[in-house]
Amino acid sequence: MNLKVREVAIKLNVSEKTVYKWLSQGIIPAKRLGKTWVISESSIEKIINPDIYPKEQSENITQHQRGIINPNDSDISEYKALDKFTDFLSSGIEHGFERILGPRSIDTKTIEIISDVLDSSSGEILLQGIGLREFFGDKGYADILRRMLNENRKINIKALLVNPNSDFAKARAIAEDGMVFDDEEIFRSGPLYSDSWRSMNMIATMKKKAQDLSRFSLNVKFVDHWPSSYLIMTEKFTFLESYQFANLQNIYGESSFDGLVPMLQIKSQSDYARILRNHFDYIWSGANPYVKIFSLSEISEKMIIN
């Protein structure tokens, strides 16, 4: 249990000003979390317990004197756990972390949080992924995008997808389902290519309808580049999940790699999110000649789009 400064002052029979002084001097063991001091009740009990600290030392315990005391194993574990917890929180807050969410493929709470953020968003939304089927398919967040479109919300969506005709897309198919997908005909009849085909049909339909709207816009580019992460960035929050060619089939029981690791929710005004934004803008710009960019019409020439 943690105590407030006022509660510590009462227990030690001193003023709150004195408590703050002792905290800043390290006399009272505590951790700083932003502007808040995290003070464990057990640490205060050790200060005022005469069996551990002589009474005359209770108002002037130095770091060296505290080191003489040999707390039991449970006390040490408690201190270590508290230190680890507060260090983790301090670092997370400093870098703009809002939450660590469960894997999106198995944690419905993660989907609910992302859905709520998206549905309440305005302005620019950035999306980055492989096929983004949960945005441009029959499930996931597709209904939210359709609602944004139908209500002509003030939304500008920019999406980066992997070119479904590229070697990167084929590499993903092979990693998931085997070398049989090295065959072009089998690859084009496979699930990844089919997902891309459905996504592109929805994108084409949405873009056509958005042409007559004044507030909603959708811009999509396809890249010959393997994204390092799955990204959703709104003006308030950013959601980030790393991509990998790996799975724990004994746990998840499927070949898919999507949504199997924790997702980070980050404040979009943080330095971390700004770096992610700069990366997105760099790829989007086409400034790197080794990262080829394609428009929807260019990709459509190799795929049947209704």
Say yes or no to pLDDT of 79 above 60: no
Determine the structural domain holding residue 7 and report its residue range: 2-94
Model confidence at 302: pLDDT above 60: yes
Residue 231 has φ and ψ, to the nearest 5°, of: -130, 135
- The per-residue b/e assignment along 194-227, b for 16 or more CB within 10 angstroms, e otherwise, is ebbbebbbbbbebeeebeeeeebbbebbbbbbeb
Cβ neighbours for 52, distance < 8 A, ≥ 6 positions apart? 46, 69
Task: Give the single-character DSSP code of 266.
Answer: E
138 and 87 housed in the same domain: no
Question: Per-residue confidence at 275, pLDDT binned at 50, 70, 90?
Answer: very high
219 and 141 in one domain? Answer: yes
CA distance 184 to 164: 12
Structure token digits, residue 252: 């998840």
Q: Which of 39, 60, 94 is the last residue of a domain?
A: 94
Q: pTM score > 0.75 for this model?
A: no
Strand 217-223, strand 155-162: pairing:
parallel
Is residue 69 over pLDDT 50? no
* pLDDT recorded at residue 52: 53
Specify whether the CB–CB gap between 199 and 138 falls below 8 A: no
Q: Is the pLDDT of residue 210 over 90?
A: yes
Q: What is the pLDDT of residue 101?
A: 95
pLDDT tens digit sequence for 224-267? 988 889 999 999 999 999 988 777 664 545 556 678 889 999 99
CA nearest to 135, candidates 239, 211, 237: 239
Please, which pLDDT band fits residue 5 given cuts at 50, 70 and 90?
A: confident
Q: How many CB atoms lie within 10 A of CB 241?
A: 22
Instruction: Work out the pLDDT band at 62, boundaries 50, 70, 90.
Output: very low
Work out the average pLDDT over 266-295: 95
In CATH, what number is assigned to the domain containing residue 234?
3.30.870.10
Whether the pLDDT of residue 219 is over 50: the answer is: yes
184 contact partners, CB below 8 Å, separation of at least 6:
none
- Among residues 92, 91, 96, 90, the alpha carbon closest in space to that of 267 is found at 96
Whether residue 179 has pLDDT greater than 60: yes
**Same domain membership, residue 238 and residue 111:** yes
Most confident of 43-52, 133-142, 216-225: 216-225
Which of 94, 111, 142 delimits the end of a domain? Answer: 94
What's the CATH code of the domain at 49?
Answer: 1.10.1660
- In this structure, the answer to whether residues 106 and 215 fall within a common structural domain is yes
Task: Report which of 72, 82, 80, 77 is spatially closest to residue 41, judged by C-alpha positions.
Answer: 82
Q: At 183, is the pLDDT very low, low, confident or very high (cuts 50, 70, 90)?
A: very high
Residue 155 exposed, middle or buried by CB count within 10 Å (0-12, 13-18, 19+): buried
| Rounded Cα distance, 148 and 129, in Å | 20
User: What pLDDT score does 83 carry?
Assistant: 64
Binned at pLDDT 50, 70 and 90, residue 64 comes out as very low
What's the domain count of the chain? 2
Tell me if 98 sits within 8 A of 237, measured CB to CB. Answer: yes
Among 62-66, 242-246, 292-296, the range of highest mean pLDDT: 292-296
Q: What is the pLDDT of residue 71?
A: 46
Q: For residue 59, name the pLDDT band (cuts at 50, 70, 90).
A: very low
Same domain, 178 and 46: no
Range with the lowest mean pLDDT among 14-28, 111-125, 271-285? 14-28
In this structure, the answer to whether residues 187 and 68 fall within a common structural domain is: no
pLDDT at 91: 78
